[in-house]
Structure formats: structure tokens, C-alpha cells
Amino acid sequence: SCRLLFCSTLCPCVSLMIAGCCALFLLCCILNGTESSNPSLGIHKARYSNSFRLARSTRTRVQQLLSKYKEQQLGNKDFEDRSGHLDDLPLLSTDFNSWLQLTDWERLQAAFSDMQAYRNRLEWKRKELEREAKEKKGVQTLLNTLPKNIKHVEMDLRDLMSHVSNHMSYIKTSNRTSNLPTVWTPLNPSSISKTLWEKRVDGYIILRDLDLYLTKLARDFLLLASKAQ
């Protein structure tokens, strides 16, 4: 039954996306049941639950942004491409046994690093769109809303990273674990020569994968909340 809860490996596949949503729903039920049976939850469990809710609301924002991006940048709100991947984004597939064996620290450390990668990529894409908007100067003004929407998602990811950092600080204080993660600067994607269409598809891939990743992150927070004392 545990395998069924983890049947989604979050690879870019529609059937696995559906399975992942089912697993997330079941974990929500488990957490809600725990909260109702024990109203005096520990503060750390409550913080993990808050992180879960933020991950879920961020995913909703990303889904709305993705729909708008496909319509405005790709000319088709129903555009789908599951084959593309960007090398500097985290892999979404997850081995069940490896996932179970992760310590809380390793899980949070990976989450911090992964969100940082997405945040860096979003910042790059936002600046690219801002440059395009300046060049067009009023032409297709609707496009100017995309950078603002992307900035909102960047801020959500920043807040999620702050949550993760606080969780790690708690673990570090309790268990004298390794140092907290540090911010790293990735290679500049703009140094790679691409056509305008390829750049636009890159933006789609970033948002598509982030949507899937946030489902995984929310599931991790639920698991952490269920383990917290």
C-alpha cells in the first residue's frame, strides 16, 4: 500500500501526473486526520503543514502562469511537449526506495537546492521577457504582465526556501548536523545560442517542470509533518 502512495515518480508523463495527484490527496487526508485527532500538534509539525500549504498555493499560481504563458508566448493554450528537458533543472523522477531512505536533513537540503535552481531559471526568463518588452515598446502590451507574474512566483519560491532553511536550522540545532546550504550562481543560460522559438519553449519547460516539482515538494512536506513530534 505504501508503494501505491508513491506510485508517481513525477517524470513528465500524464499518467504519472494523475497518480501523483492521487498520492498527494491521500497524504492530505492522513495529515488532516492526524490534526483532528490531536489538536495540540507540536510547533514544528505545524510549520511543516504551513510549508505544505505554501507549496500548494505556489503550484496553483504556477499553473495559472503556465496557461497564460502558453497562450501568449506559444500561441496555443493547449500546447504540450513532454520530451524537452533543461540540463540545469532537477530531474523529476524519483526512486521509491531511495526516497524512503532519505533523512529529513537530506530531503530538505535537496529541496533547497532544487528550488534555487528553479528560482535562478525563472529570474533569467523574466529578465529576457523584460528585454523583449522594452524592444517592442508598447507592442503587445499584454506580454508585459508575464514578467510580473513570474516575479510573484520567484517571491513564493524565496519564501519556500526560507521555510526550508528554518526547518534545517531546527534540525541542525537539535542534532548538530552539517552546515546550512549556501546560495550558488549557475551558468548563464543566455550564453547558449538559441532561436526565439527555442527560448520560448525553454520558458514553457521551466514552468511545466516547476508545476510537477511543487507536487513532489508538497508531498515531502506532508511526510515530514507526519514524522514531526
- Structure confidence at residue 190 (pLDDT): 54
**Fold for domain 13-227?**
Growth Hormone; Chain: A; (1.20.1250)
Domain segments of the chain as ranges: 13-227
- Structure confidence at residue 36 (pLDDT): 43
Decide if pLDDT at 216 tops 50: yes
**SS in 3 state form for the chain?**
CHHHHCCCCCCCCHHHHHHHHHHHHHHHHHHHHHHHHCCCCCHHHHHHHHHHHHHHHHHHHHHHHHHHHHHHHCCCCCCCCCCCCCCCCCCCCCCHHHHHHCCHHHHHHHHHHHHHHHHHHHHHHHHHHHHHHHHHCCCCHHHHHHHHHHHHHHHHHHHHHHHHHHHHHHHHHHHCCCCCCCCCCCCCHHHCCCCHHHHHHHHHHHHHHHHHHHHHHHHHHHHHHHHCC
Decide if pLDDT at 229 tops 80: no
- Structure confidence at residue 20 (pLDDT): 52
| More confidently predicted of 140 and 116 | 116
Which grid cell sits at 30?
A: 492522513
| More confidently predicted of 48 and 175 | 48
Angle among Cα 157, 180, 114 to the nearest 5 degrees reads 35
- Structure confidence at residue 171 (pLDDT): 85
Q: What is the pLDDT of residues 36-47, one digit of tens each?
A: 444 434 788 899
Q: What is the pLDDT of residues 133-190, one digit of tens each?
A: 888 765 555 557 899 999 999 999 999 999 999 999 988 887 755 565 555 555 556 5
